[in-house]
Every structure is written in C-alpha cells, then in structure tokens.
C-alpha cells in the first residue's frame, strides 16, 4: 500500500524509530529450528545468538546449555539427538543488521502507521494533517453545533437536509413552491413516488418548480433536497471553539451536513514541525503495534510433526504515548 496524505510519519521514520541503532539487538521470539528424527544431533539457527540469550526448546522442554547442547556461532549440537517427531524451537537475541526489514514488511508497517495515526487522532479528538471532514449533526433546537475534529481551519459549507410534501396535483396546476431554495443539483422530485427528471419533466427557478405537464388529479408531489445555510446571515463560525452558533437555534429533527477543513499543517513535514510531541507518540504507538502484532498467535500444530507453544513478546505500555498526547486531548463538554 501507499501511505495516505494524512499519515503522520513516513516509512523511513518508522523504520528508523524501530531500529534506532544498527547494532541494537533484535529479538527472535519463536524460530522453528527443525524436528527431531532420533539420529541428527546438529541443527542451525537462522542467526547467531548474542551470548547468554538463547532459549532452546525440544517439544516445549527448555534445554540447558552444556548439559543438553553446545552452540558455536549459529550451529547447535545436542548431546543426545532429539526424539523422533519432537519439534525444536528457539528464542534469542541477535545483532541487528543495518536494515532488518524485508520488502514485505513495508506494507505491514504502512498499515500500522495509518493505525497509529488514527489511534492518536481518536484519542485526542484532533486532526493533525489538514484534511476535509464531512459530518452529520441532528438539530436539537439549541444554538450550538459542536464539530468533532480540531483545530478547525475553515468551514466549507453547511447544508440542511429537507424532505417535504410540496402539494397535491389537480390536473391543471403546473407551478409549486418548495419551502427552501435547493442547493444546486440536490433536488429529488417525485409525483406519487415516481422520480421526475429535470428539464424532461420539470424546471426549477429558486424555490419554484414548474412541471412540463400538470400532475394528475390527487397525485402527491414530494421532494428531497438540501438547502445551503449561509454564514453570517444564518450562523456564526466560532472556529477556535470548533462550534457553529445560530442566533436562533438549529431546527430540531433536521439533519445538518457540515463540511470543513481541520488540522495543523497542510503537509506532513509542516505538521510534524508544529506537533513534535504527537509525532513521538505516534511512533511509540507504532512500536507497540509492531512488537505485539503476533500476540494472538499462541502456538502451531503440524500434522505428523507435533505442536509447539511459542514464547510471546511482552506487552508494551502505551502510557508514555498517552502522556505526550494529553495536552492535545479535547474536552467535548
């Protein structure tokens, strides 16, 4: 995959954070070494363990160095050949290479970068890189609509969704009036639930509909559309509070669709400079997700070979990320 424009860190930054030092140790949590046949005593690991870090298991039984096996580099020699069908597994630390990631890791890392960014945004109630947000709000007869994302850069549009009975046909009347002027292209007009086609069946000017042929007697004319609400005339933008204020009230039981821009910077680089603590928090969350991505895998069973229980990585603590994000957390009250 390719990172979205709203992902807060890059793939290079993610890899650098996960491998801060090229000489740092890399934990191999559960390597399948082989299976015993009752004769072979020598097996090879994928990497050379750092001294004292190797935990070697035969059929889930921890082996003791010198007593049960000897190791030279990445080669293991058992004192007694492992029993037939008994699986051999190992956990150990090894020296990380300059780039310990494989090409197939990129897609997984990018997915986790997106997830870490989203988790930080959901926790704080903020958008970091500026993007367009579309929200629906129910009018509740109060003067305030509370927008969900901060900081609000600008409001693009506010429209009210309307469904109304326009009138009843009498076989001669061709002109009917809507309650509001529809937003361009939003009108859906029906005569007895049959959709009408603009120009072919009717024309519209402002809030006035004119049919090409008068609707038949006793037919019901209905409409669905949105009406654009204008700032200053009908509401005030209180962007610093992420609020829209109507001097009267937002009509109860109406749906208002608000489109606005929210975020700190227009680009990833600009945003990172403005919210460095958030960048650090996203990298911490990413590390947590990366190190614990196999925590649901407890073991494996292979027919004819046997089963093995893996040693799982320790759960990381997200409290450090929460501390960094705390100043950005929005109080919605």
Tell me the three state secondary structure of residue 147.
coil
Q: What's the whole-number average pLDDT of the chain?
A: 88
* Rg (alpha carbons) of the chain, rounded to whole number: 32
Distance (Å, rounded) from C-alpha 134 to C-alpha 166? 29
Percent residues over pLDDT 70 in the chain: 88
The mean pLDDT of 325-333, rounded to a whole number, is: 79
- pLDDT single digits (tens) 251-269: 888 899 999 999 999 999 9
Do residues 226 and 134 lie in contact, with contact meaning Cβ atoms separated by under 8 Å? no
Cβ-contact 242, 333 below 8 angstroms? no
pTM: 0.66
Which whole number is the average pLDDT over 135-151? 93
- The region of weakest confidence among 10-19, 152-161, 265-274 is 10-19
Is the pLDDT confidence value at 276 over 80? yes
Sequence-ordered alpha helix ranges (H) in 49-165: 105-124
């Amino acid at each position: 995959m390719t990172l979205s424009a709203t992902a807060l860190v890059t793939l290079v930054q993610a890899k650098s954070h996960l491998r801060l030092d090229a000489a740092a140790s890399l934990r191999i949590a559960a390597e399948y070494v082989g299976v015993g046949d009752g004769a072979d005593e020598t097996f090879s690991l994928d990497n050379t363990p750092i001294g004292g870090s190797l935990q070697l298991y035969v059929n889930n039984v921890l082996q003791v160095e010198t007593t049960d096996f000897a190791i030279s580099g990445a080669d293991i020699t058992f004192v007694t050949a492992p029993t037939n069908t008994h699986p051999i597994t190992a956990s150990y630390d090894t020296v990380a290479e300059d780039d310990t990631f494989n090409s197939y890791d990129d897609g997984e890392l990018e997915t986790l970068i997106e997830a870490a960014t989203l988790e930080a945004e959901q926790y704080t109630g903020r958008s970091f890189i500026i993007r367009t947000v579309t929200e629906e709000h129910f009018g509740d007869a109060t003067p305030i609509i509370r927008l969900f994302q901060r900081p609000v850069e600008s409001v693009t549009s506010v429209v009210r969704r309307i469904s109304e009975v326009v009138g009843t046909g009498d076989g001669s009347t061709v002109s009917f009036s809507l309650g509001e002027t529809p937003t361009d292209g939003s009108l859906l007009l029906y005569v007895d639930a049959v959709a009408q086609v603009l120009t072919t069946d009717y024309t519209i000017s402002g809030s006035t509909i004119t049919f090409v042929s008068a609707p038949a007697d006793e037919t019901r004319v209905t409409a669905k559309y949105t009406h654009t609400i204008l700032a200053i005339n009908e509401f005030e933008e209180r962007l610093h509070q992420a609020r829209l204020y109507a001097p009267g009230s937002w009509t109860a039981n109406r749906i208002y669709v608000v489109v606005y821009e929210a975020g700190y910077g227009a680009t990833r680089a600009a945003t990172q400079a403005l919210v460095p603590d958030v960048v650090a928090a996203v990298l911490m969350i990413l590390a947590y997700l990366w190190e614990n991505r196999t925590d649901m895998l407890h073991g494996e069973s292979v027919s004819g070979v046997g089963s093995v229980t893996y040693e799982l990585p320790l759960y990381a603590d997200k409290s450090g990320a929460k501390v960094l994000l705390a100043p950005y957390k929005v109080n919605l009250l």
